[in-house]
Amino acid sequence: MATRHQVRQAVITFLYAHEMDTFNEDFASEYFAEQKIKNEQKNFAETLFGGVLENIDNIDEKINSYLSSFKLAELGAMERAILRLGAHEILAQTCEARVAISEAVALAGEFGSTNGVKLVNGVLDNIAKDKSPVASAAVDTKEFYENLSAIQESLKPNEPKNSRIPKENKNSKEPKNSRIPKESGFKKLAKSGPASKIAAKQPPKRARKDEK
């Protein structure tokens, strides 16, 4: 049976794929089958994924309020996915803030850099304190990195295959709702057009001159 950590790996993979306009029901079904995510855990993954997309504007506004020198759109797509999921879990209270932050920090350690871990930890801690200003829920990042190799080793058998995380298609057009099949279990997400909201937040790309 899949763990909650594997479920969160699935959600950030889906968020990444959705932003790259490569997410659809077949992609989700294949991923769930590969990682043996089913029943209650599959429902949990779909609930988290849908919750992030349906509340993307509020989530991004909250995250941006704690980013000083740059904004969310300037981060990598995977870091955005991790921050969005962590912020949603804190704001929607799907679990304790400390659990949400610990999971997000672990994901950032797996898929990001040292700076990414510190950024995720700091932003989500501020959101947690703003939500419930009694005590900090931050993770000790120094202790985390001291134990990172052991954490990664314990997660290694369950890590999603690199091939399941799609590469960015720089020539992709703005996501369309029709990309999600009508019979899809995620079809209700298409109604609010969350993909277009995400695409609108991306910084403009410089045009390239054709090589002769």
Q: Is residue 181 in a domain?
A: no
Tell me the one-letter amino acid at 117: V
Q: What is the DSSP letter of 68?
A: S
The tokens for 49 are 């994924």
Q: Which has the closest alpha carbon to 170: 143, 193, 199, 147?
A: 199
The tokens for 105 are 């920090």
Q: Is residue 204 in a domain?
A: no
Q: Cα 201 to the chain's mean position, in Å?
A: 15
Q: Is residue 106 in a domain?
A: yes
Q: How many Cβ atoms from other residues are within 10 Å of residue 159's Cβ?
A: 15
Q: Is residue 9 in a domain?
A: yes
Convert 122-140 to b/e letters by CB count within 10 Å (16 or more is b).
Answer: ebbbbbbbeeeeeeebbbe
Tell me, what's the pLDDT at 143? 54
Interatomic CA distance for residues 101 and 79, integer angstroms:
13
CATH number at residue 140: 1.10.940.10
Each of the 212 residues of the chain gets a pLDDT tens digit; together they read: 889 999 999 999 999 999 999 999 999 999 999 999 999 999 999 999 999 999 999 999 999 999 988 899 999 999 999 999 999 999 999 899 999 999 999 999 998 767 889 999 999 999 999 875 444 444 454 454 455 445 445 444 444 444 454 544 444 444 444 333 333 445 444 344 444 444 444 444 444 444 44
Domain of residue 44, residue span: 4-165
Record the pTM. 0.66
Q: Is residue 112 in a domain?
A: yes
- Count of structural domains within the chain: 1
Q: Is residue 178 in a domain?
A: no
Q: Is residue 61 in a domain?
A: yes
The tokens for 19 are 């932003």
Q: Is residue 155 in a domain?
A: yes
